[in-house]
Amino acid sequence: MKKIIKILKEKKSIPLDKFIDISLYDKKFGYYMKKNPFGKDGDFITSPFVSGLFGEMLAIWCVAYWEQMQKPKKILLVELGPGDGTLCNDLLKTFKQFKNFYNSLEINLLEISDKLKNIQKNNISNKKVRWIKKINQINYGPVIFLANEFFDSLPVKQIYKRKKIFLEKYVTLTNNKEKLKFLHKKANRYLIKNIKNLNLISTGNTIEYPIEAIKFLGSISKKINKFDGGLLIFDYGYKIKKNKSTLQSVKRHKYLDVLLKPGNSDITSHVNFKLFHKILSKNKLDVKKITEQGEFLKKIGILERANILSKKMTFKEKANMYFRLKRLLDISQMGNIFKVMFAKKKGVNFSLGF
């Protein structure tokens, strides 16, 4: 908080995306840069923490896609924002059972946080895994990009249209200079042009403009078009334009005001999957219809796999596994609000799970 107050005393106000960027990714002060937020004792839980079956099924999906691509001699998997490395470890465990695939495989992890990178390095000991800082470093393929709860953690802008005027959301200090508050300033014409081009305009309500995600989608699309492969996304999100703020902040598994604990709480916004679909299609990729996490995992056989595993389990182990599965699949839990999207280079036919 002190750092944000210091910045705001100097700059008076900063745009929302800049505020999110500092809160989450400032080298010293940023939330992801100084702590491990995952798990029961942390602030939130993601699918790989709920059940190892999530990673196991994703691994099988990757192997099936590789087979459909005619088993290329080299296949690169890039995990975007790998957290503490749990998903990567689960994937590797299953990949090892597919010898030919495993021999062809290399993994790149794209991670912004040195703190998390060190945790990942401690948790994953496998020579196939390397760390990269930028998508640009990828220089061969085919490449499968995997993103679980990555895009919702990227900074967004918010814009309002009041009568005929577009206003951008900023963060500033309260009069006593001790707390933060939102402020609206006239949006610049480049920003207005961009949101018009993306057809994000709506009257009155909030327009969310995922400025960083759009940059990522651009550089990822380029690599896929150049080297072949695809992008598989799992995230909190929606298919139909909501025109309201989806910004939220979480600490110790509870929601709190976004402006209350910058640097000490996670800040996210839901992914606009329809927009992602449009951008990736415009980038000439073949984009499958957006589906729900529950549907996707069931279609690729998670229940059948659980059934097989359950045969060798005690009653207690079985109960635990199905309790966790329910959390991943149930429409009242992660099964519905989490959407899945797959975009790939045109050519090879592959739509497993969609």
Residue 234 CA to residue 55 CA, distance in Å, equals: 12
Whole-angstrom distance between the N-terminal and C-terminal Cα of the chain? 44
Q: What is the largest CA-CA distance in the chain?
A: 65
Residues numbered 178-217 forming contacts with ligand SAM, rule: CB under 6 A: none
Residue 118 CA to residue 133 CA, distance in Å, equals: 14
Instruction: Give me the least distance between CB of 52 and ligand SAM, in Å please.
Output: 13
70 contact partners, CB below 8 Å, separation of at least 6: 348
Instruction: Give me the least distance between CB of 25 and ligand SAM, in Å please.
Output: 6
Stretch that binds ligand SAM, among 70-78, 145-153, 193-201, 251-259 (CB under 6 A): 145-153
Q: Which among 211, 225, 234, 65 is positioned nearest to 138, based on CA atoms?
A: 225
Nearer to ligand SAM, 49 or 273 (CB): 49
Q: Which among 202, 197, 228, 201 is positioned nearest to 214, based on CA atoms?
A: 197
Instruction: Give me the least distance between CB of 53 and ligand SAM, in Å please.
Output: 14
Half-sphere exposure of 241 (CA within 13 A, CB side): 14
Stretch that binds ligand SAM, among 149-157, 219-227, 242-250, 275-283 (CB under 6 A): 149-157
Q: How far is CA 110 from CA 18, 88, 137, 352, in A?
A: 21, 12, 10, 25
Q: Does 237 bind ligand SAM (CB under 6 A)?
A: no
Backbone angles phi, psi at 169, to 5 degrees: -80, 130
Instruction: Give me the least distance between CB of 296 and ligand SAM, in Å please.
Output: 15
Q: Does 54 bind ligand SAM (CB under 6 A)?
A: no
Nearer to ligand SAM, 82 or 141 (CB): 82
Q: What share of the chain is helix, strand, coil (3-state, %, to 5)?
A: 40, 25, 35
Q: Does 113 bind ligand SAM (CB under 6 A)?
A: yes
Contact letters for ligand SAM, residues 291-330 (x by CB under 6 A) = ----------------------------------------
Nearer to ligand SAM, 38 or 273 (CB): 38
Q: Does 108 bind ligand SAM (CB under 6 A)?
A: no
| Strands (E) located in 174-253 | 180-186, 206-209, 229-238, 248-251
Contact letters for ligand SAM, residues 57-96 (x by CB under 6 A) = ------------------------xxx---x---------
Residue 304 CA to residue 57 CA, distance in Å, equals: 11
Instruction: Give me the least distance between CB of 32 and ligand SAM, in Å please.
Output: 4
What b/e sequence results for 5-44 when a residue is b if at least 16 CB atoms lie within 10 Å of its CB, and e otherwise?
eebbeeeeebbbbbbbbbbbbbeebbbbbbbbbbeeebbb
**Contacting residue, 59, 63, 110, 341, with ligand SAM by CB under 6 A:** 110
Contact letters for ligand SAM, residues 115-144 (x by CB under 6 A) = -x----------------------------
Q: Does 107 bind ligand SAM (CB under 6 A)?
A: no
Do 84 and 119 contact (CB within 8 A), yes or no?
yes
Contact letters for ligand SAM, residues 14-53 (x by CB under 6 A) = ------------------x-----x-------x-x-----
User: Which residues pair with residue 266 across a beta bridge?
Assistant: 250
Stretch that binds ligand SAM, among 94-102, 146-154, 224-232, 244-252 (CB under 6 A): 146-154
Q: Does 273 bind ligand SAM (CB under 6 A)?
A: no
Identity of the amino acid at 275: L
User: Which residue is at the shortest CB distance from ligand SAM?
Assistant: 81
Tokens of 318: 């079985």
Half-sphere exposure of 161 (CA within 13 A, CB side): 14
Nearer to ligand SAM, 29 or 150 (CB): 150
Nearer to ligand SAM, 112 or 201 (CB): 112
Residues that bind ligand SAM (CB under 6 A): 32, 38, 46, 48, 81-83, 87, 110-113, 116, 148-150, 153-154
